[in-house]
Amino acid sequence: MKPGTFATVFSQRETVKGHFLMTVKAPASFREAIPGQFIMVRLEGSTPPFLSRPFSIYSIYSQGNDTFVEIFYKVVGKGTLAFSRLQEGDALNILGPLGRGFDIPPSCKKIVLIAGGIGVAPLSFLAQHCGEDTRGTEIICYLGAGSLETVAGLDRLEKICSAVEISTDDGSRGYHGPVTGLFKRDMGLYPEDTTWIYSCGPRPMLRGLQKLLKDQPCVCQVSLEERMACGIGACLGCVVSLRPDGAEGSLVRVCKEGPVFDIRDVEFGE
């Protein structure tokens, strides 16, 4: 059983402009979470948000009998605004861990992370996980942001990754342009058979990455975002279209069959 759970805010702070890192004290069942999995979050007895909101797990750790779940999020609307106002001790309701996380290959030599904005959240958890488990794996991270004030999640990644490359839309820091452009520059460096790519970010970025990888047969898993109501596969609200290998398209639930998919299977639309 993983029923909806009362949890409390342990700490919260704004890391870079509009981005909040919240630590939630959660039940021990959360310890088992895998990178790429998510939780559904809501307030108790107050709206907005009316529906729970999905957030990737940014990290999990235990201290004594307590388990702490970190989420890292950007304020984009009513729900995230309401969450950003929570203070230590405030009550939350969380459900999880949910969904199918990233596949972690024990043998691969190079892991490449490509993050667009707050898409860094699940990738940072993955980096942490791989950094601990498979010593010797090289992790390279490409981090895209709007401008230098919103480069999110950098500190933690710099500690884990062999290299962190930054791009900004306005060129105020690092490469000037989309993070996919930055990755494209280095693409030749990564051997197909020993490189695993993981990515998360806005849809146009993932679409760009998909194009880029058309003739590059290395593994690439992406974590997708879709509006969700239930988070557990019941409402059929969160579907995306998959079209693996040119087969007939089919709708799958991001919350249940995902949120992690093979980038080649996803139909990103226009």
Partner 1 sequence: MNVRMGVDIGGLTLKNPVMTASGTFGYGEEYAGYLDLNRLGAIVVKGLSLNPREGNPPPRIIETASGMLNAVGLQNVGVKEFIDKKLPYLRTIEPAVVANIFGESVEDYVKVAQILSDAKGVDALEVNISCPNVRRGGIAFGSDPTLAGEVTKAVKGVSRLPVIVKLTPNVTDITEIARSVEAAGADALSLINTLTGMSIDIEKRVPHLEHVTGGLSGPAIKPVALRMVWETVNAVSIPVIGVGGIMNASDAIEFLIAGARAVQVGTANFINPSVAVDIIDGIERYLLDNNIDDIHDLIGTLRI
Burial class of 248 by CB neighbour count within 10 A (0 to 12, 13 to 18, 19+): exposed
46 binds a second copy (CB under 8 A): yes
Pick from 3, 45, 64, 188: which binds a second copy (CB under 8 A)? 45
Using CB under 6 A as the criterion, what x/- string covers residues 210-249 for binding ligand FES?
------------------xxxx-xxxxxx-----------
Residues 199, 144, 98, 8: what is their CA dihedral angle, to the nearest 10 degrees? Answer: 160
Considering only 4, 6, 28, 47, the residue that binds a second copy (CB under 8 A) is 47
Residues with Cβ < 8 Å from 44, sequence gap 6 or more? 6, 91, 92, 93
Q: Closer CB to a second copy, residue 89 or residue 217?
A: 89
Find which of ligand FES, a second copy, partner 1, none residue 255 binds, CB within 5 to 8 Å per kind: ligand FES
| Amino acid sitting at position 241 | S
Q: Which H or E element spans position 79?
A: helix 78-84
Contacting residues toward ligand FAD, per CB under 6 A: 38, 49, 53-56, 71-74, 76-80, 118, 121, 225-228, 254, 259
2 is in the binding site of which of ligand FES, a second copy, partner 1, none (Cβ under 5 to 8 A by kind)?
A: partner 1
User: Among 56, 62, 16, which Cα is nearest to 155's?
Assistant: 16
Task: Return the structure tokens found at 144.
Answer: 């895209």
Degrees to nearest 5, angle at CA 144 with 181 and 224: 95
Q: In the complex, what is the shortest distance from the CB of residue 46 to partner 1, in angstroms, rounded to a whole number?
A: 11
d(CA 117, CA 119): 5
Select from 61, 62, 76, 81 the one that contacts a second copy (CB under 8 A): 81
Q: In what order do the strands lie in the sheet with 59-63?
A: 53-56, 38-42, 91-98, 5-14, 19-26, 66-74, 59-63
Binder of a second copy out of 9, 82, 218, 235 (CB under 8 A)? 82
- Is there binding between residue 250 and partner 1 (CB under 8 A)? yes
Nearer to ligand FAD, 97 or 208 (CB): 97
Per partner kind, with CB cut-offs from 5 to 8 A, the member of partner 1, ligand FES, a second copy, none near residue 82 is a second copy
**Among 93, 134, 172, 194, contact with partner 1 (rule: CB under 8 A):** 93
Q: Which amino acid is at 209?
A: L
Which listed range, 109-117, 135-143, 184-192, 233-241, lies at the site for partner 1 (CB under 8 A)? 233-241
* DSSP secondary structure code for residue 133 in this structure: H
CB nearer to ligand FAD: give 113 or 228: 228
Is residue 49 within the footprint of ligand FES (CB under 6 A)? no
Between CA 72 and CA 15 the distance in angstroms is 9
Question: Dihedral of the CA atoms 127, 129, 131, 134 (nearest 10)?
Answer: -130
Q: Which residues bind ligand FES (CB under 6 A)?
A: 228-231, 233-238, 253, 255
Q: Which residues bind partner 1 (CB under 8 A)?
A: 1-4, 42, 47-52, 93, 95, 226-241, 250-251
